[in-house]
Amino acid sequence: MKEILQQYAAYNLWANQKLLDVILKLDENTQQQIVPGSFPNLYATVLHMWDAESAWWQRMKLHEKIVIPSENFNPTMQEAVNGLLQQNKLWVEWISNATTAAVEHVFAYQNSKKEYFKQPVFQMILHVFNHGSYHRGQLVTMLRALGVEKIPPTDFIIWSRKK
């Protein structure tokens, strides 16, 4: 399990970096332009990805109060990207140093609706990476809708071939 999580953590960081590099090259108006999706624009989607990964990290670390980054300040796109990539690196580092017991540990948490759950850490981490893939797909769709033609492929198989 740990090897799979290490691969997904490295892939998550790589794929996010690829897409975020493209997004950062766009002007602020394009980053904020309204396009169909779960969130209104590229900026809001990236911010959500950071907020979600940060919340899951804090849950795993058993923080009593979950602090959502976007609730404390209104970051620029560059700051949101930096925050998300830093969070991605924390997952890579934690998984690299985790024991089997830590990965399999069942922890209790409450979601944003204050509902309580207990799950193994590895299931939560797999969810985090799957969540990232879902929103990267939305970012690609938004980029295409905004007329961006050069979008790098971010499939897991492409990352795995470069290892």
Contacts of 35 (CB under 8 A, 6+ apart): 41, 42, 142, 145, 146
Ranges of the chain whose pLDDT falls below 70: 163
Contact 21, 141 (CB under 8 A): no
pLDDT one-digit tens code per residue, 19-47: 999 999 999 999 999 998 899 999 999 99
Domains of the chain (ranges, CATH numbers) = 2-161 (1.20.120.450)
What's the confidence (pLDDT) of residue 163?
67
The three state secondary structure string of 61-97 is CCCCCCCCHHHHCCCCHHHHHHHHHHHHHHHHHHHHH
**Phi/psi at 135 (5° precision):** -75, -30
Determine the pLDDT at residue 112. 87
Report pLDDT for 66: 94
Whole-model pTM?
Answer: 0.95
pLDDT at 50: 98
Give the residue from 7, 16, 13 showing the smallest Cα distance to 136. 16
Strand-pair partners of 110: 116
